[in-house]
Amino acid sequence: MSYKAEYIWIDGAEPTQKLRCKTKIVGKGEQPPVWGFDGSSTNQAEGHASDRVLKPVFICPDPVRGEPHKLVLCEVMNIDMTPHRTNKRAALVEAATKAFAFVFIHPFGDGNGRIHRLLIHHVLAQRGYLPRSLIAPISAVIAGDLARYDAVLEQFSARVLPCVDYRFEKRDADTTLIITNDPDDFHRYPDLTVQCEATFGWLQRAIEEELVREIDFLRRFDELRARMREIVDMPDRKEQLFVKVVLDNKGKLAKRERELFAELDDATITALEAVFAEVMG
């Protein structure tokens, strides 16, 4: 008995992409194949060359139609099977694999983490994943989730390290790592599924949570400075310094920092602290 496979993909609508779907009849025992569609109707092609490809990436039972029917989540490819410009999934997979591949090669003793994040931002920018004026604060999210970051690194290295033969040699004042077999294939064809999934999660949190917090902080910061200027006029540098030291001390100007604002009397300091508490919460 044949079944219905509901192909689902993300279109090219602007400014907000939408879900599209179409149904294919698939023979019993067969898997949903790569399929095609007319991209001109979904803002993913122009009329004169509109063939686009649906590549299945996840298949599950259809909860509406029931067994044996399937839902087929797809990514959109060009006719030459390169990722379409609207294929955000492919862009993020590319960013994650390039960034983690660099970390696992370890060409530098320090700075791998920073270059890892730089590569993520670079690839996402090159592929148009986000608006050109926006940089998602993924570094802040990873910095707050270092246990998982370490676990993701260990997930790869723990499998590869037992296959690498090595020894340490003392050379003058330095110790050199010597690899005695050829482990290149372990790095040439890595399974980075876990690393891609982690990067998806970090980027989602960066956009939906961290970016929202940062924008809210900037809004409050601008409001705070405007309210402070109603109380006292200070140079921009001094104004920002006051906000920083009060923020670091949970809303109060620490006694050890009082001399930095010797020109302000106690009543003014109290009024500024009150405004800080009201605006920053």
What residue spans define the domains of the chain?
Answer: 3-82, 89-209, 231-280
Residue with token string 């980027």: 203
Residue type, 29: G
CB 259 within 8 A of CB 251: no
User: What was the pLDDT predicted at 108?
Assistant: 63
CB 54 within 8 A of CB 76: yes
Closest-CA residue to 195 (of 112, 120, 279): 120
Partner residues linked to 22 by β-bridges: 7
- State pLDDT tens for residues 175-215: 888 889 988 888 888 899 999 999 999 999 999 999 999 99
With bands split at pLDDT 50, 70 and 90, how would you rate the model's confidence at 132?
confident
The CA distance from 85 to 67, in Å, is 34
User: What was the pLDDT predicted at 26?
Assistant: 97
Tokens of 35: 């399929």
- State pLDDT tens for residues 79-107: 999 999 999 999 999 999 999 999 988 75
User: What was the pLDDT predicted at 47?
Assistant: 80
Strands 174-179 and 3-10: unpaired
Instruction: Indicate yes or no: pTM above 0.85.
Output: no
Strands 70-77 and 51-61: antiparallel
Annotation: CATH topology of 3-82? Ubiquitin-like (UB roll) (3.10.20)
